[in-house]
C-alpha cells in the first residue's frame, strides 16, 4: 500500500513538472501492480518459497497421553438459528485440531482437544 502511495505521489510530481508521458507510465505501472497484488499472481509468486519444503505432511509421534491445543477465534452469533458458530477465520484451525484429534484417537492413545477463544462477540455461549 505504501509503495502504491509513493507511485501516486511520484506520478503527481511528474504531472506537475509537465512530464505527462512519464506520469502516465508510472500510473500504468501502479495499476498493473495493484491488480497483480489484488488478483493473486503477485502473492502467489511471493508465497511459493514460503510454502514449499514438505513432500508429504509430517506425521506426529503420539505419546501415551496427548493434548491438542487450538487457539480459536471465539464464537459469533447466528441470528437465524439463535445459536453460535466458529468465525470463518478460525474454522481452518478448529478443523486442523479435529483432524489431529482423530489421528491421535486412531492411534489408540488418550487424547484431549482444548479449544480456546471464549465469547468475544457476546453470543452467550462459550
Distance CA 49, CA 105 (A): 34
pTM reported for the whole predicted model: 0.54
**For residue 82, which phi and psi values (nearest 5 degrees)?**
80, 5
Q: Give the mean model confidence (pLDDT) for residues 90-118.
A: 88
Residue from 83, 84, 94, 92 nearest 116 by CA: 94
Q: Which pLDDT score is estimated for 104?
A: 92
- Tens digit of each residue's pLDDT (9 = 90 or more) over 53-96: 667 777 888 888 999 999 877 888 888 887 778 888 888 888 99
Distance CA 9, CA 2 (A): 11
Whether the Cβ atoms of residue 75 and residue 117 lie closer than 8 Å to each other: yes
Residue boundaries of the structural domains of the chain: 2-48, 65-115
Q: Which comes out higher in pLDDT, residue 15 or 104? A: 104
Whether the Cβ atoms of residue 41 and residue 49 lie closer than 8 Å to each other: no
Q: Give the mean model confidence (pLDDT) for residues 86-108.
A: 88
* pLDDT level of residue 99 (50, 70, 90 thresholds): very high
Amino acid at each position: 500500500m505504501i509503495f502504491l502511495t509513493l507511485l501516486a505521489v511520484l506520478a503527481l510530481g511528474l504531472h506537475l513538472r509537465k512530464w505527462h508521458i512519464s506520469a502516465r507510465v508510472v500510473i500504468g505501472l501502479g495499476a498493473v501492480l495493484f491488480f497483480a497484488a489484488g488478483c493473486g499472481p503477485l502473492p502467489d509468486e511471493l508465497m511459493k518459497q514460503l510454502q514449499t519444503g514438505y513432500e508429504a505432511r509430517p506425521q506426529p509421534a503420539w505419546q501415551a497421553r496427548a493434548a491438542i491445543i487450538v487457539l480459536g477465534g471465539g464464537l459469533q452469533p447466528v441470528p437465524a438459528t439463535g445459536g453460535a458458530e466458529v468465525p470463518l477465520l478460525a474454522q481452518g484451525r478448529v478443523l486442523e485440531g479435529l483432524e489431529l484429534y482423530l489421528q491421535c484417537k486412531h492411534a489408540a492413545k488418550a487424547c484431549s482437544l482444548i479449544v480456546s477463544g471464549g465469547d468475544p462477540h457476546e453470543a452467550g455461549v462459550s
